[in-house]
Structure 1
């Protein structure tokens, strides 16, 4: 029996779509998820690079690197085996922002941000 709002086009339920959505909808039909094990040469490791994160400089095995609620996130198992995630920009998976590399922590704000602040302050005075 299909879930409320979902319809299946096949006996095994491999092709499912939302009822009421056109067949060309980006949400359907879905592909079956692979259950094949990851090969050892496909294992990726990453390091947490955010200086204030409690796991800073520790290395973990990547479980998944994906968008979650419009945010690029890295999923991993911590030392206790719990599945955790954090923004990928806090890891070695994403290249460091060129501005941060050049400023080396010496600048608290970018020029664009300071100009925007000046604009907001001028708007507040008028």
Structure 2
């Protein structure tokens, strides 16, 4: 298996990403047009593709950042058929080592409790403070 990293997605890979999102608890209902807009407006996109499977998208994450103070990591996902092959680690290493993120003060992410140990190995710490995450959903 030959896996390579890409910084942009083809239309076919956007379709594959949309399909991957359908099975995740935090992304159900995402549609291709919205996924395309989100990817196009991300500061950094990191995809992993399997050359042997026709450039199939098998891993993905994206970053929104000002390149100085804050970066927010979003949508870290590995295709279930490819899990257990250290691809999540490869995505995280690509983010942490990315040249454009080297001067960013803080990289932040949100995850479920069961994923905290995974992210801790990359020096992400759970913050317990008087700062809370607040969300405002789109009003229909």
Give the TM-score taking structure 1 as reference length: 0.25
Q: Higher helix fraction: Structure 1 or Structure 2? A: 2
- Structure with greater Cα Rg: 1
Give the TM-score taking structure 2 as reference length: 0.23
Greater RCO, 1 or 2 (C-alpha within 8 Å, sep 6+): 2
